[in-house]
Amino acid sequence: MEKDVEERLILVCRSEIKMLELIFEGFRKLTEKSIKEADRVKEEVRGNSAELARFVIEKSSPGAKGKEWAKPYLSMASSFDRMGYNMEAMVDRLTSMEKDRILFSDRAVKEVNDIFQEAMDLLESVPNLIQTRNKLLAQHIGEQVRSILMIANGYSEEHEERLVQGVCIPRSSPLYLGLIESLKGIIAHTLEVSGKIVSLSRKS
């Protein structure tokens, strides 16, 4: 992987780590101030992601060979974009929770916290993977993603069952499920980025 592209990939990733950390903090505090702090970072994330795509397009040579070189990098830029969209959706849900004073049960809070922490751990491992292209680390990310997605799907299914039984509050249910789905999206796109990094290391 070329150094200048690597640096831009890491910059995008670190801005998204920063935003997810602030969203996590916003979920724990659920104050207008904490949620606005998370929301402010989205412009930085968008800007870094757009700059990455622009740089790759400008750097690629004309013709089929240039397109082939650019393809995995543009795919990673797209994955980072979609992570950003998922994070923005989470900020919107937290805003609704704070504005309408919607609280989750202790169980729901613990479940969202669990998936948040796993998503954070995964995303924080990506800069290291970009720099080292360590196949064992990539393999660990893949195993971790599959395990977390199974747990997250289980949480969603159990929540829906509790909703049918009348245990869960219908007003909070879409927000809970939305946060879990957004976290699953971030986790899945982290795996996509990891896969592209490994595929590039095979070519080098």
Q: Give tens-digit pLDDT for 90-142.
A: 999 999 999 999 989 899 999 999 999 999 999 999 999 999 989 899 999 99
Which regions of the chain are under pLDDT 50?
A: none
Tell me 102's DSSP state.
-
What integer pLDDT is reported at residue 65 of this predicted model?
A: 78
Structure-block tokens of residue 123: 């995303």
Q: Which amino acid, one-letter code, is at 77?
A: A
Q: Using N-to-C axis directions, what is the helix angle for 3-29 and 173-203, rounded to 10°?
A: 160
Enter the CATH code of domain 3-203. Answer: 1.20.58.220
Structural domain boundaries in the chain: 3-203
Evaluate the CA torsion angle 33, 36, 40, 41 in order and state its sign.
positive
Evaluate the CA torsion angle 48, 23, 118, 147 in order and state its sign.
negative
Rounded to two decimals, what is the model's pTM?
Answer: 0.93
Q: 131-140 contacts: CB < 8 A, separation 24 or more?
A: 131/6, 131/10, 133/1, 133/197, 133/198, 133/200, 133/201, 133/204, 135/198, 135/201, 138/194, 138/195, 138/197, 138/198
